[in-house]
Amino acid sequence: MSRRSGNSFSSKVIKRLLQALIETGPLRKTRLSGKAGINYEMCIKYVSFLMMLNWVEIIKRVNGTEHISITSEGIEHLRKLQGESSRRGLDIKTNSNNISLQTLKGSSRSSQTKTVHEHLPKAKQKNVVIVDDDESSLTTYESFLEHYRSSFKVKTFSRPEQALRFLIDHPDSYDLVVLDIRMAKMSGFRLFQGLKAANPHAKVLFLSVLDAGPELLDIFPDIKPNQFIRKPVDRNEFIRIISEAISS
């Protein structure tokens, strides 16, 4: 049976948390747990998960207490999880960090036993785009690929909004896109959705310090477990995964 976003246990918990924040506004974790009707330990787990996606954020009050607040990105995804056809009834407040896909379009149009050599594409040099807001990580990944048999040409972006513009404007200039999941201004998943809307056939991998848990796969049914690269990753493993993804 195929997995459907919005019907899993994880999706239901996420909707309850986000809806509680919509109805009440920023809440302390203990209050959020009670409002959403889930135990505190589970609340902590899912708040951390939602922060990774940039769907919620921590804001500090004047007295130093920390409250959880839903972001405009979280509001948008709550609407999608609920299957709403419009944003009616939700007071969405956008910010300068959000990118309108329509605006961007308007600007222009495994086998573990095999060796890296066996997995490498035999054709011409392959183009890989890597997006990560950590400059040092970008330098590392770029060196992994470009110093290996000249098989790859790498273009990197530390600003996800700039990367999205490039990916939409140049759909034929890359063979694979590698996205860090957690970035400050735009999550890798948000960038992925914008990219897929413009180029449905784009091949994409995700970088994450977390395992690709069921929560991610439940709410993003188009993403598969083998699309995740666990950080930190060593050079040979990184090359192998990239090579396999391009060849698939």
- pLDDT reported for residue 226: 84
Q: How far is CA 11 from CA 66, 85, 105, 190, in A?
A: 25, 18, 30, 17
Residue 4 included in any domain: no
The contacts of residue 53 (CB under 8 Å, 6+ apart) are 73, 74, 77, 181, 182, 187, 189
- My answer on whether 65 and 110 are in the same domain is no
- pLDDT reported for residue 109: 43
What is the dihedral angle through the alpha carbons of 192, 194, 200, 203, rounded to the nearest 10 degrees?
Answer: -30
Tell me which residue range forms the domain holding 62. 9-82
What confidence tens digit (pLDDT) does each residue in 155-209 have? 999 999 999 999 999 989 999 999 998 888 888 988 998 898 888 899 999 998 7
What confidence tens digit (pLDDT) does each residue in 207-228 have? 987 765 667 777 777 788 888 8
What is the dihedral angle through the alpha carbons of 216, 208, 44, 23, rounded to the nearest 10 degrees?
Answer: -60
Element (H, E) at 167: helix 160-169
Residue of 161 and 122 predicted with greater confidence: 161
Q: Is the pLDDT of residue 89 over 60?
A: no
Strand ranges, E, within 32-111: 56-60, 66-70
**CATH number of domain containing 40:** 1.10.10.10
- My answer on whether 243 and 137 are in the same domain is yes
N-to-C CA span, the chain = 24
- My answer on whether 128 and 222 are in the same domain is yes
- My answer on whether 137 and 209 are in the same domain is yes
Residue 55 included in any domain: yes
Of 62, 64, 58, 63, the C-alpha closest to 21 is 58
- My answer on whether 185 and 111 are in the same domain is yes
Highest-scoring range by mean pLDDT, 96-100, 113-117, 140-144: 140-144
